[in-house]
Amino acid sequence: MSVPRIPWTLRVGAWMCAVLVATGLAGVLPARAEPTAPTVTWAVQPANPDGPDGRRWVERTLDPGEVVTEHLAVRNFSDAPVVFSLQAADGYLTDKGRFNMLPSHQPSVDGGTWISVRETVSVGAKSTRVVPFTIEAPADASPGDHPAGIAATVTSTGGTVAVESRVGFRVMLRASGTAVAAIRIDDLTATHDRSWNPFSPGSVRLRYTAVNDGNVAVTGAGRATVCDLFGLVDAEGPAVVEELLPGGDRPAEAHVGGVWGWGRVTATVTLTPDILVGDPPDAEIRPTTTTVTVWSIPWPHLALMLVIVALVLAWRTVVRRRRRRLAGLLARARDEGRKEARRSELASGTSPTS
């Protein structure tokens, strides 16, 4: 039995119906793309019970065992309500000198443990919430600064990775007692950057590590001086150290110009610390001075001296040759004169001695 063939017009029509059905189902089925998360923007500021009070950060000096209450304001600039996590942690300075607080997975051991705040706060769209927090200094708190920070955090998840975004401010806590401001200079090195123009002096670049040896946050200012072997050069330049928290360190540099670098060069850095926050009475300010000696070979000047010596030797050689040549010419001229006089005498028949 033969199978009847389906006309090509029916086959084309059936194929078009299948395409239309598939297209209709595609429009009904939900898309598999991930929904776009709304953008969350917010700010956290020091506050009083009525709202932000204009402070950049919180500064408090407490006696051991003292408890105080402060406030923070969380401002939600987004178009939807947001639940923020609140957290306090120890503060530190990054390699670039910016203040930061320990990440949530790293436990605090200092100022961050002094602060107690509620875990979360819900802030409506385009709204601000004021949240109180307490600061309690331990009974055995050591005198000086105990930096901390407090922040509001939003955690977003994308696939298997959770991203924690936080905004906050620093809380500079100081336990009462004697404030000691001290900076130690470690690993001082000096490098003479010579000028290859022998008639122009070079400069000395000083590199060192500034370490906060005191118990309060400080900056540092002073002078860098350079003296050469013969005491002919006594140049100086500014030395500046940016913010240092207690126990912290950071690299620093100083430049001193007008240095010829003839042999031994002695470089000295002197720093005087300045307390960053407040003016505590009876504070101990401890300046520091460190000296290093280096040797610098004045290659441009040695090369110039060699050129001068070579030119002098060449000039003396030329002069000597000219003198010898002139002496030889004069001697030949005298000989020629004697010979000519003798010929003249012989021709006249007279004796040269008569």
Distances from the Cα of 227 to the Cα of 187, 252, 293, angstroms: 20, 21, 10
SS3 (DSSP) at 138: coil
Contact 154, 165 (CB under 8 A): yes
* 52 alpha-carbon distance from chain centroid: 33
Digit-by-digit pLDDT tens for the chain (354 residues) are 343 444 444 343 433 333 333 333 233 323 333 334 568 999 999 999 999 999 999 999 999 999 999 999 999 999 999 999 999 999 999 988 899 999 988 999 999 999 999 999 999 999 999 999 999 999 999 999 999 999 999 987 665 666 778 999 999 999 999 999 999 999 999 988 776 666 667 788 999 999 999 999 999 999 999 887 766 556 788 899 999 999 999 999 998 887 776 778 889 999 999 999 888 888 999 999 999 988 866 656 566 677 778 888 888 888 888 888 888 888 888 888 888 888 887 777 655 554
Q: What is the pLDDT of residue 232?
A: 53
CB 211 within 8 A of CB 229: no
Q: Any residues with CB less than 8 A from the CB of 149 and at least 6 apart, and which?
A: 88, 89, 90, 91, 99, 100, 101, 112, 168, 169, 170, 171
Please name the residue that has the structure tokens 């690299």.
Answer: 251
The backbone region for 144, taken as left when phi is positive above 0, alpha when psi lies in -120 to 50, beta otherwise, is: left
Contact 120, 84 (CB under 8 A): yes
Query: Angle 236-238-241 (CA atoms, 0-180°, nearest 5)?
Result: 140
* Amino acid at position 279, single letter: D
Q: What does residue 339 show for φ and ψ, rounded to 5 degrees? A: -60, -40
- Tokens, residue 137: 């200094």
pLDDT of residue 160: 61
Q: Which residue carries 């109180």 as its tokens? A: 132
CA 278 – CA 265 distance, rounded (Å): 40
Number of other CB atoms surrounding residue 298 within 10 Å:
18
Q: Look at strands 284-286 and 180-193 and give their pairing.
A: parallel
Q: To which residue do tokens 């300010």 refer?
A: 285
| Cβ-contact 285, 216 below 8 angstroms | no
pLDDT of residue 76: 96
Looking at this protein, which amino acid is placed at residue 100?
N
What span, in angstroms and rounded, lies between the C-alpha atoms of 53 and 46? 7
Q: Which residues pair with 151 in a beta bridge?
A: 87, 168
